[in-house]
Chains A and B, each alone.
Chain A
Amino acid sequence: MEDDDQQKTLDLVKELVHRLLSHNPTAPNNAAQNPNPTDLNNSFRYAVRILSSKLTPSIAPDADAIAESIKRRLATQGKSSKALSFADLYNKFASKTGAGSINNKWAVLYLLKIVSEDRKVSQASQNSALLLPNLTLDDREIGGDSRNSRRGDKGWENGVLVVAKDPENLREIAFREFVDLIKEENEVSEEVLVRDVLYACQGIDGKYVKFDADLDGYVLPENFKVPRSTRTMVRKLCELGWLFRKVRGYITDSLDSFPTAEVGTVGQALCAALQDELSEYYKLLAVLETQAMNPIPLVSRSATSGNYLSLRRLSVWFVEPMVKMRLMAVLVDTCKVLKGGAMAGSIHLHAQHGDPLVHEFMKSLLRRVCSPLFEMVRRWVLEGELEDIFSEFFIVSETKAKESLWREGYRLHSMMLPSFISQPLAQRILRTGKSINFLRVCCDDRGWADAATEAAAAAGTSTRRGSLGYGETDALENLVAEAAKRIDKHLLDVMYSRYKFKEHCLAIKRYLLLGQGDFVQYLMDSIGEELSEPANTISSFKLAGFLESAIRSSNAQYDDRDILDRVRVNMMVQSTGDRGWDVFSLEYDASVPLNTVFTESVMAEYRRIFNFLWKLRRVEHALIGAWKTMKPNCITSNSFVKLQGAVKSQLLVTLRQCQVLWNEMNHFVTNLQYYIMFEVLEVSWSNFSDEMESAKDLDDLLAAHEKYLNSIVEKSLLGERSRPLYKSLFVLFDLILRYRGQVDRLYEGIYELQAR
């Protein structure tokens, strides 16, 4: 079969040569002439040689493209009617399929095209023998030897012809030399370079342009001879390839390392967005590639139609992709080491750019990148859930006991806070989620879910995924504000109504801060003697019994049972030599969730105040007791009748001094008591009540309570600044107590005297 084909081919070729040589329409007589047999044989041998040497065409077999270029050429030559009829014919030609039709239509078209071009050229050159030859300065392809020598022959022919007649010979020679020089330099044709550059821009090594790892770029190796300008241009265009490589490398790296939790969801979103951009870029490259294949007359000598896509055209096309790719490469560099919210923040910084193109591009990237972040915010704010496997969120949780859930359970991680979420907003977000968790864990409350859905409805988003995006920071703020408002209100409601926060505060004030006067009086009366014993002999059970009786005998019995249960006796740490007075204190038992407010340190402060107030009361109690014995009565006034003059006067003087002293002490203690009780405690309490009314969330409440406590401590001289004063106060108290002792003894003596 192959031999058959070969034989057929040879026969056809022979036939062709015969016909071509015999058919000469430019001969004056149009009759078919018999060709020279030697000519015939030579031609035939030549034809066979040619046909068996070059086996592959230099262009791609695309019939449509060739037809397009033919049409275009006809149109540009001004023969538009011919172009139309050609188009018509081609359509009909192309539609002929099946048996008996031509398989390689493209070959036929190509053939026609080139033959017609050659004819034109040869006609033109025949007509203008003396004109300068049609120098094809673009004709830089790798020519066959025959063509080169032929050209040279022709040229030299002309040159020889002209030298005798034309003074323009110099110019011709110069042109010739230039063309030769260019031929020398251009080992590689422009189309091939263009194709290589297109490959390089996708990260693939072309035939000549390869990636050089040392120089870190796509270069044309030195051993290929191309003019310097071309080399520079190729280098510039390949920058796009280098940038592309960098971006693609980042994407593949991130996607590979995703399971090892280096990258995280935000990084993944960024990779997805970058991949979309790259696919746009691929589309552009595909279009350019089809354009590049627009046929080039490789075999012709004409200079009219060069390749559609030259390096220069390519550089114009690449301007916009270059900008985008540069942006992406810059982003990739900054984001390589970042994660989560920090990554979003740095991209946001890049987006603060004046150029609208850059701004738009960054915004669209950011919208994709921030969607996992916003989703996390939404979940946190509406459900209190932190789903953060890769620790990208700016709120971190730490497992702590229930009491410290509010204060220390969650905190802001400022590294991961993106820059478009301001600090106050972040605080609010933190507080809202914290409240939900607090309600759920400490208060066993389920009502917050309704509040959350209400909030979402009010803010116009839904409680489902994906309803927020970047650039809608307002929407986010709105949502957070609504959620915060409702949840805070709910929390405060729960605190006040279910857990009766206000009542507990009041109770503390009444019992620990000795607000309930009659109770304190009874207590003091009953345990007064007990406490004078050494501390280690006192049992707290007995004291508890006294406490109960004191409560029952005062107005305190009408108080809520739950509150009364929490008031307990607490014996502090004892050292040797302590009396009961030193170690006795009352305490209030606050449970979850109230111990968020009344923490250990807060209770310690209360204890300190209690101690001070208790001491004060004791002193007051002592003085009142002294008055009971000292007040002038018939016994004392009548006692001096029996005494001698000098003793009597001395006694009287002493007694008077006692009275005066007592008055002074009493005055002092009363005023101090008044100051503490009214100026300090009551005023602070009323301030605190006001603030409790106006508190909007638990943080406010905590702050108000802190302030209340601090003001009490400061004003009752327990603070740092009043330390010397405090010391002198204690000295005074000691004095008063000693005085009491002395007065007691004195009056005992007097009564004894009286009794005798």
Chain B
Amino acid sequence: MDPEAAKTARESLELSFQMSNILDTGLDRHTLSVLIALCDLGLNPEALTVVVKNCAQKLSSSPPPTPASSS
């Protein structure tokens, strides 16, 4: 990617992150960038939100995993 494009991308991500903060979505920069990439590829945003919700649910319902069990 040429530097111009990289700059644009960075700025867009920054703006999106700020908007997401205002809206209090709880997404961090990295997650947001992945989501944006997926959206850009043409996936349905509604489906993505379902995935996000599902994972959030899983997180809130399941007990916090022990740090020991990692593979």
Which residues on B sit within 8 Å (CB–CB) of A74?
22-23
Closest to A94 in B: B15
Taking residues whose C-beta sits less than 8 angstroms from the other chain, chain B's interface range is 35 or more
Given the known A-B contacts A34-B67, A34-B70, are A12 and B34 also in contact in the complex, defined by CB atoms under 8 Å? yes
Residue in B18, B36, B55, B56 with the greatest tally of chain A CB atoms within 10 Å: B55
Q: Give Cα A89–Cα B70 distance, bound, in whole angstroms.
A: 40
Q: Give Cα A111–Cα B25 distance, bound, in whole angstroms.
A: 10
B12, A96: Cβ atoms closer than 8 Å: yes
Closest to B42 in A: A104
Which residues on B sit within 8 Å (CB–CB) of A46?
51, 54
A5, B45: Cβ atoms closer than 8 Å: no
A16, B35: Cβ atoms closer than 8 Å: yes
Q: Is the interface of B mostly helix, strand, loop or mixed?
A: helix
**What mask results when residues 60 to 100 of chain A are scored 1 for a CB within 8 Å of chain B, else 0?**
00000000001000100000001001100110110010111
Q: Give Cα A90–Cα B20 distance, bound, in whole angstroms.
A: 11
B18, A89: Cβ atoms closer than 8 Å: yes
Is A9 an interface position by the 8 A CB rule? yes
Which residues on A sit within 8 Å (CB–CB) of B50?
50, 146, 299
Closest to B20 in A: A112
Taking residues whose C-beta sits less than 8 angstroms from the other chain, chain A's interface range is 35 or more
Given the known A-B contacts A108-B39, A126-B60, are A33 and B67 also in contact in the complex, defined by CB atoms under 8 Å? yes
Given the known A-B contacts A25-B26, A114-B46, A298-B46, are A93 and B65 also in contact in the complex, defined by CB atoms under 8 Å? no
A101, B12: Cβ atoms closer than 8 Å: yes
B41, A5: Cβ atoms closer than 8 Å: yes
Q: Give Cα A118–Cα B50 distance, bound, in whole angstroms.
A: 10
**What mask results when residues 43 to 71 of chain B are scored 1 for a CB within 8 Å of chain A, else 0?**
11111111111111111101011010111
Which residues on B sit within 8 Å (CB–CB) of A26?
60
A21, B38: Cβ atoms closer than 8 Å: no
Q: Give Cα A37–Cα B62 distance, bound, in whole angstroms.
A: 13
Q: Give Cα A19–Cα B6 distance, bound, in whole angstroms.
A: 23
Q: For chains A and B in complex, what number of residue pairs have CB atoms within 8 angstroms?
A: 191
B23, A70: Cβ atoms closer than 8 Å: yes
Which residues on B sit within 8 Å (CB–CB) of A247?
none
**What mask results when residues 120 to 133 of chain A are scored 1 for a CB within 8 Å of chain B, else 0?**
10100010000000
Given the known A-B contacts A21-B55, A34-B65, A115-B52, are A100 and B39 also in contact in the complex, defined by CB atoms under 8 Å? no
**What mask results when residues 22 to 37 of chain B are scored 1 for a CB within 8 Å of chain A, else 0?**
1111111011001111
Q: Give Cα A96–Cα B5 distance, bound, in whole angstroms.
A: 10
Partner of B65, one of A35, A50, A114, A146: A35
Residue in A43, A70, A99, A100 with the greatest tally of chain B CB atoms within 10 Å: A100
Of the listed stretches A51-59, A191-199, A457-465, A680-688, name the one at the interface; the rest are far from the partner chain. A51-59
Contact residues of A with B, CB < 8 Å? Answer: 5, 8-9, 12-13, 15-17, 19-21, 23-27, 33-37, 39, 43, 46-47, 50-51, 53-58, 70, 74, 82, 85-86, 89-90, 92-93, 96, 98-104, 107-116, 118-120, 122, 126, 146, 298-299
Q: Beyond the given A102-B39, A299-B46, please list 5 additional residue pairs across the A-B interface where CB-CB is below 8 A.
A: A16-B38, A19-B34, A47-B51, A111-B35, A111-B39
- 27 A–B contacts from the bound complex (CB under 8 Å): A12-B38, A13-B38, A16-B38, A33-B64, A34-B65, A34-B67, A36-B69, A37-B71, A39-B62, A43-B55, A46-B54, A51-B47, A54-B44, A58-B46, A92-B11, A93-B12, A100-B1, A100-B7, A102-B39, A104-B40, A107-B43, A111-B39, A112-B19, A114-B45, A116-B20, A122-B56, A126-B60
